[in-house]
Every structure is written in C-alpha cells, then in structure tokens.
Structure 1
Amino acid sequence: MLRGVIFAATLLLSVPALAGDAPYTVAPHLFDVSRPDDLGLKPAAGTQTITIYSPTAGGETYVNGVVLFGFKNKLYAQWQTSQKDEDSTDTHVVYAVSEDGLHWSAPRILADVGKTIRTSGGWGSDGKILTAYINIWNSDFHTGGRAFAITSEDGEHWSKPKPVTGADGKPIDGVIEQDPHSLPNGRILAAFHLQPGVKLAPYYTDDRSGLTGWVRGKMANLPHEGLAKENLESRELEPSFFLRPDGCAVLVMRDQADSFRQLASQSCDGGRSWTTPVLTAMPDSRAKQSAGNLSDGTAFLVNAPSGTKLRSPLALSLSKDGTHFDRAILLRAGPPPEIHFPGLYKRPGYHYPKSLVWRDALYVGYASGKEVVEMSRIPLSALR
C-alpha cells in the first residue's frame, strides 16, 4: 500500500504547473515523496506544538474548523464541536482565549446548539470591535446556509447575531469562509459558498467591520462533475488568500475533482475580477488549507502536501515573491495520532489549518484527528 501511495504522489509531483497560467510555481523536488512521514522536511528552530482543547469521555469529542485571531493583546481560537459526529445537528461553535498563546481558557459558547448545524466562520475586527462569524446551515451541507455575525468590545460579552449583508443591504445567500484578509488600503477580501449547496464565489467589502457592503467579485468556476450535476457544489472550495509585492491577491483553493493539487486564481484590481482558476504544481490532500503573508511580505501556504487523501504531514511552504515557492518547513510529521473517540468522518490527520501572524510568531491552528484542537507556533526569526 505504501508503494502505491508513493507512486501516486510521485506522479502528482511530476506534473508541472500550467506554464504561463498558474499564479505560482513550486520548486522541483521540494517534497521528497520517498519519505511519506515527513516528505524530507525539517521543523524550524523553536517550533512548538500547543494543545488548546483535548476531549474527555462524555464530553465533546468532535472538533474542526480551528481559526485563530488576535484582538486587544489576546489570542482567540474558534472552532466547531459536537458530542461525537461531524455534521451532526448538535454541531455548534465555541472559542477559547489566551494572553500568551501558550495557556488557554476552557471553551466558551459562541453559537449554542440549535435546530441545524452551526459551524465556525472565522473572525474579523476594525481594531475596536471583535466580530465572530457563525455559519448556520439550512438542513445539511448540500442545501447550504447563511453567515451571521456577533460582535464584542471585550471578547466576553456578545451581541445578538445579525446576517452578513451585501452592498444592497440584503443577507448574502451563502456561508463565509473562515479567514478574511485585508488589503493595504483596508478593503477586506473573503469568499462565500453560495446556495443552493456550496458554490464558491470571491467577495470584497470596504466596510472595515466586515458586517455589510459585500460585493461579489467576478470569477468563472471550472466545470465539475459530482454534486455539480445537481448544481450543489463548485469544483473550487474552501479558499485562502495571500498577497504579492505587485499588489495582486492570489486565491488558493481546494480541488474537488481529485487532482490532489491546489487550484489558484489571482486578482490585480482589488478583488473586483479574478482569473479563471487553474491547477498549480502544489500537491494537496483535497482539504482546506491556509495562506497569508509574514510580516516581511513573504507569502506562505499551509497544507498537507501528501498528494493523497492523507492529511499528514502538515507543512509550511514559503515564497519571497509570491510567485515561486522554494522553501518548505515541517509543522507536524506522520504517522498522525490515532483516533481515541470514534465518530462519523473522523480520521487521522491534521485537519483544516488556519494561520495567523501574532506578535513575533506564526501560529497555525488545526484539528488533530478531528478531536484535539492544537496549534503550531513558529518564531518569525526562524523563517528569515
């Protein structure tokens, strides 16, 4: 079985990016597929693994969608959780708080159990008000849902939820992806998965609160089989963003067509229009990933570049100019920890990473085995 995995990954890594089309390229042999546990990568000096939440028998044993955010000198972690199974109707959203990124509070409720699924939508802030996005689904993931927002001045006392609205003042018919990114001029880029189902569309707003004024950017989705036959799913899903020195934004996406490579699109007009997504040479595990920029502008990608469905190892890839990724660092090696509390759709691996530069480090949050909320902390000094 291992030989088959290595062979498949070798094939994937030998396929070049579409010349002249892909927003970024990948250095040849960046990942050593003959070493599936670590892909030949090494951790950066000073890397720490920190546990934010670990389940106990009788407690909430499913977690996913971990999103980190800094607000008023504290670090916040948001995630979705349930008693046992993924996508069960008792799925709701909680958060924890830390003053140093190392020691964390017990989970607190952001969106309690309701009639349908509640999932984490990420964070936003204008510097004065902290916004938590909550996705409330109609009945299941095939029918889609809507994004709501709650706000707080202190991270403890929260407003009642209000729908996230477009420039027309109407609620957006979709759920928000978990990591909005700000441009240097203050404009916020994000993506929504629109109803019916989950069809990816990029959006932007000039409202610094991120609550209203959202405008859909122009991007053509690729043809897609599967659920797309019923108009319920786009090929592109669960994106993230990074910026290039030339001012262009790059949208990095999961590929539901099982290429096990990342899709990417770019916008050079502030998110108003995007190129048609294309396959890149960056291997992936058909999963949610993370992207962004370090404080010196270096672009980064966080994913499990296994080239298979295995969401391990977890790696950080770096590019000085945002066009060519030629460095990669190990965050978590395989084989991943075993599952201690069985549940629907739970499997070993480091799931759905989201990242944040806070103070003097890069923080990457993820769900280990979809049951433990963990975080990797990498000193920025080790990434220079």
Structure 2
Amino acid sequence: MLPSVVPSRRRSIAAGALFGTAVLVAALAAGPAMADVEEPPVAVIDGLIDTSDLNALGLPQAENAETVTIFSPGDDDLKFNHGTVLMPFKGKLYAQWQSSERDEDAPETIVRYSVSDQNGDNWSDPLDLTAPRTDGYTSNGGWWTDGETLVAYLNVWPADLSPRGGYTLYVSSTDGINWTDPAPVTDQNGEPVLGIIEQDVKALPSGRVLTAFHVQPGLQVKPYYTDDPLGVTGWTQGEFENQEYLPGEMSRELEPSWHVQEDGDVVMTFRDQGGSSMFKLAAVSEDDGETWSRSAVTDIPDSRTKQSAGNLPDGTAYLAGSLTGTKTRHPLVVVLSADGESFTDGFVLRDSEDLQPLRYEGKSKNLGYSYQKSVVWGEYLYVSYGTNKEDVEYTRVPLDDISMRDVPSAAERPAVEGGGGSLSVSWTAPADSGDAEISGYVIEATSRSGRTSTVEVAGDAMSTTLAGVRPGRYSVTVTAVNAYGSGESSVPSDWVTVTGKH
C-alpha cells in the first residue's frame, strides 16, 4: 500500500513556466506540417519541463534514487562501452552492452555481459558473448526471457552492406552461463528478419511480445510483434508508414520504445532523426501492434538519442531519457503519466552536475547518459545507460516514489450508532484521494461472530445507514475507492450493538 500522505512529487506548475504553449507552438512550426500526420497520442503538460534549466530541466530530484556502476574501464580495458540493457532472470540481474577499444562501431566491437547478485549492487567481471568479426561488427540487441530461458539478441552489421544496415541473431541459455550457437531471429514464414532489433523487447498485457526492427534497405524502423513467448520466431511486421528522411537509407523514425495507455492502446515513441523540431515522434496502435497510425510530432523534447518507455506494475506510464530539446544527453529524467496520454509529473534521476568527466577520448564519444533502457525488478524501476559511452551504469528508483495511480489513503475512524435493526455510519473523507477523485465508499459491518453486512455509496456521501442488520455487536470500517482501486480500510469503529428490537 502506498503512503497515505501526499508524496513530495505532487509539485505545482508555475503559471509563468518557461516551457509553455507558446514556446511549443513556435518550435513545432519550424518542423513538418502537422496536417500531414496524425494527432500526437502523448504530450507533456505545459510547464513540466524547463529546457532553460541545463542541470535538471526544472524537475525535482528523485530523493531515493540510487546509481550503481556495473563496469568502469581502466587503462587496460575496452574503453568504449555503450547500450546498457538489463534483464532479471532466475533471481539475478543481467546487464548487456557493446564494447570496443575506443571508437563507436569499430571493427573489433563485441557484445559483453555481467551478472549481479540478488540486489543488483555487486557485479561479475565482464564476460564476452561474441568475438570480433572479420566481415563487420556485432552490437548488442538487448535481452528477452520467458522465465526459463534467457535470450540475448545480437545485431550484425556487415561491412560490405550498402546502405548501412544489418540483421539479428540470438543466443540463449537456461543457466546464464552456457550459451547456444548463434541462430537467426525469424519471421512468421521462418525466414531471417533482415533488420536490426531495438533493445526494447517487452510483453503486452495480452502476452504478445512487441518491439521494432530497423529493416533493410538501410535502417527503416518498423514495429514487429510475435506470439512466440521466447521472442525468437514468428516475428510479424506491423503495418506502419514511415516518414522519409534519407530515401532508401534511413527513416525519420528511429530507435523507439513503447508503453500502454489506460484504454489499452499502445504508443510507440521514436527518436526523430530527420526533423528540425527536436521533439519526439509517436504513433499509436489499437490492435496489439498489428496496425499503427502515422507518427506525429509530440511536444516531448528529443535529444536525438534512444529513450525508454514502459508501464509500472500499477499501470503508470513512464518515459525515461534526456529530454533536452538539443543533442545534449544530460540530465537523465523520467516523466510520468497516470493515463499514458498526458505526462503530468517527473523527476531528475541524475542531473548534469552529477556527470563524471570523460576519461578516454574516442570516435563518437561525448558527455551524457546515453541510450537509456529500463526494466522493473522487485520494488524498483531500473534505468540503464552508458555514461559518456564508457561507464556501464544504472539508476534505480523505488516504485512507490513514482506511482501515478495512487489509491486513496485510509478514511478516519467512522462514528457509528446502533439501532433496532440498523447501523448509522458517518465519516470524513481521506486526507489524500490518490491520483483520481474519490468515486465511492465501501462500508462494511462485521459482527463478533464474523457475520458481515456491506453497502456501497457514492463518492460525495459522508454518511449512510446499513438496514436489515441482524442482532449482534458490530464494528464498522470505511474504505474509499477511486478509478485506480480501493484504498486502505479505516481503523474499525467501536463495537456497537444492534438489538433487533423496534
């Protein structure tokens, strides 16, 4: 149960917020004509993000956030480390990333992984999942598991393929130590998927597995889904019309992540590689990923990098990333939405002042918390990334601190009067209604012998009468309900006698 007090995350938005509607409209006007695309399915509320605040984007610090370094290279180690992805498996936490000597996507690039103990604080030395190729290189494609088998996706980039693109292999393990030989990820016809998988494989509420591939020729992003629980066969391309960026080479949409809205629709959020607005793109599916709207420009700032979206166990939607509106990849923030449509709150997980210095130079190495991905494990949301593309790290935050679907707190102890065959009950509203208004109350009277009598009333009621109650001694509780569920029951009332006499 969530705390009954109003959490500190409930911050008010100043009327003069710097990131208001006028700024958004002006920025969007510089991008593509909105008439050519669908209405954006997600938005941030005015004033939530202050892009003039280069340290924290105007967001409060997540007080209980913890950062852990999985691997930090020394002078004798591979110094380029990027694309950190986490996955819980059989009580342990696994981290995967790509490594090279100093440059991004260098010929010697390999995929590595490390394993934690049960709390995710202590990590093994890096282990190699691949060896350097002579015909290109391999980058990491993330994880998936059905609970019994752990799958590691491997993105192969042939050196002689033009335009630049690739295909996806996988290896699997039942113990996290011994791995199968690489095999192709296949589509619904049993053919290899000729595309680079996004490091964002997750299951829909239906159990269907959803992600995206950047398919040949070049890198044309397409949503893909499969009903194979292991996520290695049966991948089917969803119907999605790309916006052009580099015709025949690269779509405007790249490197998406996704979350589910309160009504069950799925929203996929994209890096906008070809637009001039520096805002994220988003598309929506109403049929579990089979068909998609065209992508639309949102008002969520982009930084030309990956992001990570998802849902907390209570359904709260989140989007983690560097929402700077520039190519700067710090700070690291998470924004939150109760309904998956309007992001109304957020935190900074690591601000710019917390960023360690770059220690080793290399091609495409720059400051920042790059290529964020996330997973829920236990009581935490883990957001992983490569800091400065050299340190493999994550930041975790307690789920209770970021839930946006709070149920009401407990009502105060009710006052009860007994009668011949009824109980008259009155109460006051809880101090905290949660993240939706109180829609009703459940009043339950329980006798000493365990007999119960229950009545439900509307959310604006402060009293009621339980009629037809059998004789006995009763104690009464009141429970407030909102759109997200029932809160904690009140402290039981004093014992009251129903005599049965009229």
Fold match (TM-score > 0.5): yes
Task: For residue 300 of structure 1, report the CA deviation from its aligned partner.
Answer: 0.4
CA contact (8 A) 1:141 1:198 kept: no
Equivalent of 1:109 in 115, 119, 128: 128
1:313 aligns with 2:331: yes
Aligned partner (choices 186, 197, 201) of residue 207 of structure 2: 186
Deviations 1:51-107 (A, max 9, x none): 000010021000111101111111111000101100101111000111211111111
Query: 2:261: which partner in 1?
Result: 244
Q: Does 1:301 align with 2:319?
A: yes
Residue 349 of structure 1 corresponds to 368
* Residue type at the aligned position of 2:257: S
Asked if structure 1 preserves the Cα contact closer than 8 Å seen for 2:28 and 2:277, the reply is: no
2:176 to 155, 165, 172: 155
Give per-residue Cα distances to partners, 1:324-362, cap 9 Å, x unaligned: 001010011114332110000001011000000000000
The structure-2 alpha-carbon separation of the partners of 1:16 and 1:149, relative to structure 1 and needing over 3 Å to count, comes to: same
Q: State the distance in 1 between where 2:157 and 2:101 align.
A: 18
CA distance in 2, matches of 1:307, 1:209: 37
* Distance (whole Å) between structure 1 residues aligned to residue 232 and residue 184 of structure 2: 8
Letter in 1 for 2:188: A
Q: Whole-Å Cα distance in 2 between the matches of residues 43 and 96 of structure 1?
A: 29
1:215-234 equivalences under 5 Å are: 215-224=236-245, 228-229=246-247, 231-234=248-251
The amino acid of 2:179's aligned partner reads: W
* Structure 1 segment 100-179 matched on structure 2, within 5 A: 100-115=119-134, 116-139=136-159, 142-179=163-200
- Residue of structure 2 in register with 1:53 after alignment: 71
**Counterpart in the other structure of 1:287:** 305
- Distance (whole Å) between structure 1 residues aligned to residue 304 and residue 187 of structure 2: 30
The alpha-carbon deviation at position 13 of structure 1 amounts to: 7.9
| 1:375 counterpart residue number | 394
Larger radius of gyration: 2
Q: How big is each residue's C-alpha offset from its partner over 1:225-272, in whole Å with a ceiling of 9 and x where there is no partner?
A: xxx14x110000000110112111110100012421110001010111
Report the Cα offset of residue 127 of structure 1.
1.2
Partners of 1:264 and 1:278 within 8 A in 2: yes
Distance 1:296 1:47 in 2: 19
Structure 1 residues 340 and 93: alpha-carbon distance in aligned structure 2, compared to 1, 3 A threshold: same
- Residue identity matched to 2:271: R
Q: Name the amino acid aligned to 1:346.
A: K
Moved more, 12-21 or 172-181: 12-21
- Aligned partner of 2:90 in structure 1 is 72
Q: Do 1:12 and 1:283's aligned partners in 2 also have CA atoms closer than 8 Å?
A: no
Q: Indicate the SS of the match to 1:381.
A: helix
The letter for the 2-side match of 1:143 is R
Ranges in structure 2 where 5+ consecutive residues have no aligned partner: 1-17, 404-502
Aligned length: 373
Indicate the SS of the match to 1:51: strand
- Aligned equivalents of 1:331, 1:13: Cα separation in 2: 28
The 8 Å contact of residues 64 and 352 in structure 1, kept in 2 or not, is answered as: yes
Structure 1-normalised TM-score? 0.93
| Greater RCO (CA < 8 Å, at least 6 residues apart) | 1
- Percent identical: 44
- Distance in 2 separating the partners of 1:98 and 1:250: 32
Q: Distance in 1 between matches of 2:295 and 2:25?
A: 19
Q: Secondary structure at the match of 1:269?
A: coil
User: Which has the larger displacement, 29-38 or 364-373?
Assistant: 29-38
The AA in structure 2 aligned to 1:269 is D
Is 1:30 the counterpart of 2:51 in the alignment?
A: no
Tell me which residue corresponds to 2:412.
none
C-alpha distance in structure 1 between counterparts of 2:376 and 2:327, whole Å: 28
Contact kept, 8 Å, 1:12 with 1:260, in 2: the verdict is no
- Normalising by structure 2, we get a TM-score of 0.72
Gap runs ≥5 in structure 1: 1-5
Give the letter for the 1:163 counterpart. Answer: P
Offset from partner CA, 1:96-135 (integer Å, 9 cap, x none): 1112111111111111211221111011111111100000
Q: Distance in 2 between matches of 1:294 and 1:152?
A: 27
Aligned-partner residue type, residue 140 of structure 2: S
- 1:195 aligned partner: 216
Give the Å deviation of 1:12.
5.2
Structure 1 letter corresponding to 2:204: L
User: Which residue pairs with 1:3 in the alignment?
Assistant: none
Paired residue type of 1:94: R
1:35-65 deviation line (CA, Å, top 9, x unaligned):
2111121222211011000010021000111
Q: State the shift of 1:175 in Å.
A: 1.0
Residue of structure 2 in register with 1:338 after alignment:
357
